[in-house]
Amino acid sequence: MAKQKIETVRELIYYSYANLAMAHTAVEKKQEKYEMFNFMIRAKLFKGLKDGTMNMRTIFDDEKIKLQTGQICNYCGATEKLALDHIFPQKYGGQDNAENLIFACRTCNSSKGKKDLIKWMIFRGQFLPLMIIRRYLKLTFKYCIENDLIDKQIAELKDLELPFKIELLPTSYPKPNLLTLNTE
């Protein structure tokens, strides 16, 4: 496949989201590795997002999943000593509302602290459940729309203090057997 041309923030978020969807289908099917049809899903979704025939589903889908998941640490699955964690740190403009809040155990909560979610994931050395990354991507997308950043060049965001790190958005994922959807 030709190398993707990704220059704007919008393209990068879409590409990250398409890769996440590819990983999601492979995990759901319990595949050990990515197959041709997974790559086709990615290509189709990325193209559809760019030409406007598809969209990133609203965050309300994720809210439903959150309610179904119940009171469990969304990062590690612990069921005790839970607190509410702000996915986007409040220090960097993360809001104190439902879409930015999930349950996390005290250990994960204090380990994450005010770090960017993906930065923390890299620091942990273990990929987070895909549903959390999906929520993070949607929060990033929404933030960029609301703050008029979505059609900027990626490089323009690198030095801004934002609740996400544009250069860390995942554009490739480990093998599906190393990933989980949720912490249940």
What Å distances lie between residue 61 and 28, 41, 58, 131, 134, CA to CA? 17, 20, 6, 10, 11
Residue with smaller CB distance to Zn ion, 47 or 81: 81
Residue with smaller CB distance to Zn ion, 167 or 184: 184
82 part of the interface to Zn ion, by CB under 5 A? no
Query: From the centroid of its chain, how far is CA 69?
Result: 17
43 part of the interface to Zn ion, by CB under 5 A? no
Please identify which residue in 18, 26, 59, 105 interacts with Zn ion, judged by CB under 5 A. 105
Please identify which residue in 75, 103, 141, 164 interacts with Zn ion, judged by CB under 5 A. 75
Options 69-77, 118-126, 136-144, 151-159: segment touching Zn ion (CB under 5 A): 69-77
What Å distances lie between residue 60 and 17, 98, 118, 138, 150, CA to CA? 16, 10, 22, 10, 21
Q: What is the DSSP string of 98-123?
A: GGGEEEEEHHHHHHHTTS-HHHHHHH
181 part of the interface to Zn ion, by CB under 5 A? no
Sign of CA dihedral 31, 34, 37, 43: positive
108 part of the interface to Zn ion, by CB under 5 A? yes
> Least CB distance from residue 89 to Zn ion, whole Å?
17
Options 18-26, 87-95, 98-106, 157-165: segment touching Zn ion (CB under 5 A): 98-106
Residue corresponding to tokens 């899903």: 41
Residues that bind Zn ion (CB under 5 A): 73, 75-76, 78, 105, 108
